[in-house]
Amino acid sequence: MARVVVLGSINIDLAARVGRFPVAGETLSGSDFTMRAGGKGSNQALAAARAGASVVMSGAVGRDGFAGAALANLAEAGVDLTAVRDVEGATGAALILLDAKGENVIVVVPGANATVDASQASALPLAAGDVLLLQGEIPTEALAAACAAGRRAGAKVVLNPAPFAPALADLLPLIDVLVVNETEAQALAAARGLAATSAREIVAALAAPTLEVIVTQGARGLTAGFAGRIVEAPSRPVEAVDTVGAGDTFCGYLAAGLAQGGVLDDVILRRAGVAAALACTRPGAQDAIPSLAEVVRAGG
């Protein structure tokens, strides 16, 4: 059975609520402190597992007190963690303050994620038919090596270049499926020197027989180019509470569908879209990822 192999970031998210943000040198009392597992790689691996796929996670955590918590949800979901390295230093962390107006300030410390390198990427346990899922929160050199490893193994390579960096545009010839949101799509188009600005124009410019392209558009759904056609699909209407985990949920469910079905189609896109919409109905990232049963009941 084909697997989803994820190479990416593993974080711990530390969040607190304050009435207002402090100024330099000021100490304020906060409330509602939470500690949750995060990181785009970890989030997407968990989503793929909840979608029913067999999942392998590769990345790095530090030798500190946060590593266990960062990996706990993945372990509970049955994700294979044997390719996760533990290294000297700190586990990646996001430090988040939320104010009474709903605004946030975030400091992301890559920590162990910055140690993921080309040698680790080249050693990924890939086989023909597997789906390799990548994001932008680890060094570009590791991503390039992973793409090459995927090609050698005969795996389908899916890239979600988030957060976007211009160097990630150079990876397009090495991948099979590109997943970006509208902001990332426009940044990618600019990096490639394209005049296209709308999602449909960008998809039309980038999609090719060797590259399937998906632009997610939040509540307006998605635009995708595959099998020689462009598809525009609406989103499932929901009462959104928190959209932070929606994109990672989409990517994980998409990768699971590709591992199970092999070929991108309307059914896989619909299921991933419904899963992403449901993730918006509850707070958090990993806590918000729905189970496959929930997604099927909702029409996915």
CB atoms within 10 A of CB 86: 14
What DSSP line would sit under 70-126, residue for residue? HHHHHHHTT-EEEEEEEESSPPEEEEEEE-TTS-EEEEEE-GGGGG--HHHHHT---
Quick check: 17 and 32 in contact, CB under 8 A? yes
Quick check: 129 and 262 in contact, CB under 8 A? yes
C-alpha to C-alpha distance for 149 and 146, rounded to whole angstroms: 5
Which of 86, 248, 265, 287 is flagged as catalytic? 248
Can 64 be counted among the known catalytic residues?
A: no
For 62, the enclosing helix (H) or strand (E) is strand 55-62
C-alpha to C-alpha distance for 33 and 186, rounded to whole angstroms: 35
Residues forming the active site: 248
